[in-house]
Structure 1
Amino acid sequence: MPTIIAVDASLSMLRPVPGRNEHTYLSLATKGIQHLLDNFTAAGKLEHLALISYTTTAELKVDFTRDYDQIRQAVKKIETVDKACLLTMLKTSVSIMSTWGAQNLLQLVVFTDCGLGFGTTSISGFLETYAGKEADPEYAWLRTVANYNLNFICLGLHSDQYFTRALVMYQQLLDAALLKGQLFMTPVKNPETNEATSTPSHKSELGRTAVFELIERLCETSYKSTEVTLKCGSYFRMEAPVLLWPPTTPYEQPAVLGVEAEVRQIDQRIDVCGFLALSDIGSPATLSRHWVLPKVEREKTSRRSAGMAAVAKPAKLTLDTSNPNYELERLEQDIREFYAKDPKDTEESGDDADVTIVLKHSSGPQTEQQKECLCVLLHGALKMENMAALVRVGEKWYGFMYAFTDAKKKSNLMLNILPPGSNVIPWLGDLELLGFTEDLAPGETASFPVRADRRSYSQSSVVWIRQASLQSDVQKVLRHAKKMPDKTQHFYKELNRIRRAALALGFVELLEALAMLLEKECAHLTLNGASNECTVQLQHAATELRKTSNRDIKSTIVPHQKGGVPDASSSAAVASTAGYMY
């Protein structure tokens, strides 16, 4: 999810925090950003981040990047300037976010002491001006901001009346402009007992710990990946918890044919229904696309627990003898232990006739990288076989998983969620009626993929989106013209291709321009002593391009035959060869 981190760089951010003279509001914001970056780093650096500072103007410090060290260094160099203007920052974020389009989930995290501003640029002045003018073009940028998820980290104490009044104004701004946002602030204290309404703690004060708690709440609310269970087949070990990133969003299914509109969420369990070739699926319309990541438990171990773990032996899987698959389970465990052992951990004993291998116990427990992972197995199989897994994400709701390789040659397991319904890929038909090729009756052939005698997409097409493409096609015709009579057939083939494309696009002016070019080329070649056949064919082609009868896209211009007489409009350079028989 692209995220812009905005820092309030007004002079009020230099105020010391009441009761904590060692901190200013700006230093707390810096520590909060550092903690936010630590959370993103622990999650795998999945977010694209940008950093801006704003006062009366907004300045882009770091453009979108996954190199969080750049942002760490840039945050330390932010300098305060003058008063804060939140609206200027929101307008600037629209231009910065424009490169991501409207289909991405865009985030905006603002660290501020909730300054209201002064004069016409203040929030209160904006609300007075904005009332009743929601549809004016002047405020069209607010409709773009409404697609963002705004998160305000509000640095202040509730005992400060200016801060509490500012919170009300910020909430009024979100409500009046219909913006999706949330204000993160420290817990409100009970004035009678002077304790927080939640569990009383020193963390309720505005300090580093309180700011860290706000960041944790932010990550839990806006950056938590969707956790589901992925199951492949009936074998109980082919089931594992996975994370979907970006997190899935509710799908609002519109009302159709009397059916009421409803909001649908994907199930907590995703079942693999079968496998299809990627060429059979093609590129259907999808609602969203997500990375499928294995869930890794990150435990915070102390020094004492880490030392104890160093001497612990790896736990051995205990098998249930009453399980009907006990023999298969034991065989699988023996195979796993055989291939998992390290040659350095083995030693030979006995003589040459009877050599036994003794496996030494490793000194540490099995790491997360060494554990079995369904995502790794599924990703490797799909990548090697060039296939996709059809999965069920809800009732009559499907998607497909496949191995995707990005521009950096890094491969990932992806999930594309299709629109709800079982008939959402027209060329596949009903997804609930798919079967195996072995189920076909004797003599019956599969109806998919459909075989075409002549594929339209295999034919060469003319694309003139840029000027260089048109210029290249015209130069190709002129190159063939200079090599006539050897390239006569190639010349007319390219000429007819350009003529049909021009007629299909309604670009009839190109025909006259091309005729003039051929006449100029004819005169130029005549002066350079070109063959008579070359000049005759060029004049013939120019004449045919101007004829109204050749404005039919089905007609074809053919080469000038021997013994023909050119038109009276021939130039003087060609007139001397009019009676020439060849």
Structure 2
Amino acid sequence: MPTVLLIDASLSMCRPVELADRPEPMQLRHLAADGLNHLLQYMAIHCKLEFCSIAFVSIGESSYVSWQGRLTCGHLSSHVTLCPPPEPQPRRGPDAEADQPPVRMTEQISIVGFMNIGDVAHPATVSRHLVLPIPAPKTYDTSDSSGGIVGGIDSQENSSSLPSIGEIKAEPAVTSDSGDGVCSNVGSATGDENDGKQASFCVLLHGSLKVESMVAIARIGPSWYGMLYSWADSKKKSNLMLSTFEPGENSVPWWCAFKNLGSANLNGIPSTWEKLKLPLKPLEKPSYSQNSVVWIRTTGLQADIQKILRHARKLPEKIHNFYKELNRVRRAAISYGFTDLLEALSSILERECTLLPGTAHPDAALQLSHAANQLKPPANGSGPLPDADVPIAPLRTKYFQNMSE
């Protein structure tokens, strides 16, 4: 391993340096030479080529090893590889323990069922991999003098009797006397050419999922599932992809547990039962199901205020829509600490109350005045802000009571 060391040879390196442990005069160039000697000694001990080789081999084995396995569906199977290789995933469920080891993908991807793309509804995934078919590993069988088959690619006893690659290439093709030219070499080139012509289950699955607009649910590990689907990066080319879910039986909230999915006939469910419809509604309403209010741009805030004013001009017919939009903006303003918006919105409603035409319903002015008074924040900032979870209720007038009944 060539190493280049550079030393400053200018006059500045000749400056004297006083050291307490050395009585003789020293210069900077002497210190530089001593430092280089110590560096070379350290490199000779700790930076050998064997250590570099071990480091690169360990990095390659841990980060750059390809995954190869089998994709199975019933009696059909195909040898495949995943790109990029899958990584172990920790368990994140409520039942997961802190000292529990991460889940690793097994060497077999087993398809357990199929679903329509509409029922899948974009579940959260932790990784995505390209599924590529690969040739099956070849096995070499040799015959003994009695005609029996012995040995194989995994047999250690007969591994010495297997021909090497150089011997296979060096041996000429054995032809018959009639000149038919029948090749008997094990490593002939015709076998490699026929690999691309053989039927592949991976190709069959890809075409079927693409035509039927479906996905295949596969088990990729202990309590770990994923889905196989056709993904197109352009209009003319598509690929078979594998997306992995989080480890666990309930990793998709709007499905039931994976172990409970399946055909009703196979599970012995009576035909009188109602068919399971996806997505399933959860028992508890999730927090992200609420309509969020985003005011990153001024146009979003202006649109919300204009929507309130449109309902205000149609009072009292639009009283429910008016208070719904008003409470939505009020809740967001209190949550963000935007108290100036409450005061400004109160002034806008008071102005709308004065601009009502003479033909307007009397309840319109009453509801606008009531909403404006409820929106006003505490005077001079004294007192706590109103509770965002307590909405402004409509003023109970005679018209409103008759409308509610």
TM category (shorter chain) comes to 0.5 to 0.7
Where do residues 169-248 of structure 1 align in structure 2 (5 Å cutoff)?
182-183=55-56, 223=64, 225-234=66-75, 238-248=76-86
Equivalent residue for 2:303, pick from 467, 472, 475: 472
Task: Kindly indicate whether the alpha-carbon contact (under 8 Å) linking 2:350 and 2:368 is maintained by their aligned counterparts in 1.
Answer: yes
Q: What TM-score does the superposition give when structure 2 sets the normalisation length?
A: 0.53
| Structure 2 residue aligned with 1:461 | 291
Q: 1:426 and 1:538, CA in 2 relative to 1: closer, same or farther beyond 3 A?
A: closer
Task: Kindly indicate whether the alpha-carbon contact (under 8 Å) linking 1:404 and 1:411 is maintained by their aligned counterparts in 2.
Answer: yes
| Structure 1 residue aligned with 2:242 | 415
Equivalent residue for 2:214, pick from 377, 387, 401: 387
Give per-residue Cα distances to partners, 1:430-470, cap 9 Å, x unaligned.
43444312231242335664765999689872422524433
Output the amino acid matched with 2:274: T
Q: 1:372 and 1:493, CA in 2 relative to 1: closer, same or farther beyond 3 A?
A: same
Where do residues 82-161 of structure 1 align in structure 2 (5 Å cutoff)?
none
Distance in 1 between the 2:282 and 2:104 partners? 43
Give per-residue Cα distances to partners, 1:115-140, cap 9 Å, x unaligned.
78999xxxxxxxxxxxxxxxxxxxxx
Distance in 1 between the 2:7 and 2:338 partners? 58
| Structure 2 residue aligned with 1:498 | 329
Output the amino acid matched with 1:546: K
Output the amino acid matched with 1:466: I
Task: Kindly indicate whether the alpha-carbon contact (under 8 Å) linking 1:550 and 1:556 is maintained by their aligned counterparts in 2.
Answer: no
| Structure 1 residue aligned with 2:343 | 512
| Structure 1 residue aligned with 2:110 | 271
Q: What TM-score does the superposition give when structure 1 sets the normalisation length?
A: 0.39
Q: 1:486 and 1:166, CA in 2 relative to 1: closer, same or farther beyond 3 A?
A: farther
Q: 1:399 and 1:491, CA in 2 relative to 1: closer, same or farther beyond 3 A?
A: closer
Distance in 2 between the 1:552 and 1:257 partners? 36
Q: State the Cα distance separating 1:246 from its structure 2 match.
A: 0.8
Local SS of the residue matching 1:291: strand
Q: State the Cα distance separating 1:283 from its structure 2 match.
A: 5.3
Name stretches of at least 5 consecutive residues in structure 2 with no aligned partner: 9-38, 137-192, 379-384, 401-405
The share of aligned pairs that are identical, in percent, is 35
Give per-residue Cα distances to partners, 1:290-341, cap 9 Å, x unaligned.
12123379xxxxxxxxxxxxxxxxxxxxxxxxxxxxxxxxxxxxxxxxxxxx
Q: State the Cα distance separating 1:503 from its structure 2 match.
A: 5.4
Q: State the Cα distance separating 1:273 from its structure 2 match.
A: 1.8
Task: Kindly indicate whether the alpha-carbon contact (under 8 Å) linking 2:79 and 2:135 is maintained by their aligned counterparts in 1.
Answer: no
Distance in 1 between the 2:133 and 2:263 partners? 30
| Structure 2 residue aligned with 1:125 | none
Q: State the Cα distance separating 1:272 from its structure 2 match.
A: 1.4
Distance in 1 between the 2:282 and 2:98 partners? 42
Task: Kindly indicate whether the alpha-carbon contact (under 8 Å) linking 2:253 and 2:282 is maintained by their aligned counterparts in 1.
Answer: no
Distance in 2 between the 1:481 and 1:118 partners? 83
Equivalent residue for 2:376, pick from 540, 546, 551: 546
Task: Kindly indicate whether the alpha-carbon contact (under 8 Å) linking 1:114 and 1:167 is maintained by their aligned counterparts in 2.
Answer: no
Aligned-residue CA RMSD (Å): 5.5
Equivalent residue for 1:558, pick from 394, 397, 404: 394
| Structure 1 residue aligned with 2:156 | none
Task: Return the index of the structure with the highest Cα Rg.
Answer: 2
Distance in 2 between the 1:287 and 1:455 partners? 24
Task: Kindly indicate whether the alpha-carbon contact (under 8 Å) linking 1:492 and 1:559 is maintained by their aligned counterparts in 2.
Answer: no
Local SS of the residue matching 1:272: strand
Count of aligned positions? 299
Q: 1:118 and 1:510, CA in 2 relative to 1: closer, same or farther beyond 3 A?
A: farther
Could you tell which deviates more after superposition, 377-386 or 529-538? 529-538
Q: State the Cα distance separating 1:245 from its structure 2 match.
A: 1.0
Task: Kindly indicate whether the alpha-carbon contact (under 8 Å) linking 2:250 and 2:257 is maintained by their aligned counterparts in 1.
Answer: yes
Local SS of the residue matching 1:381: helix
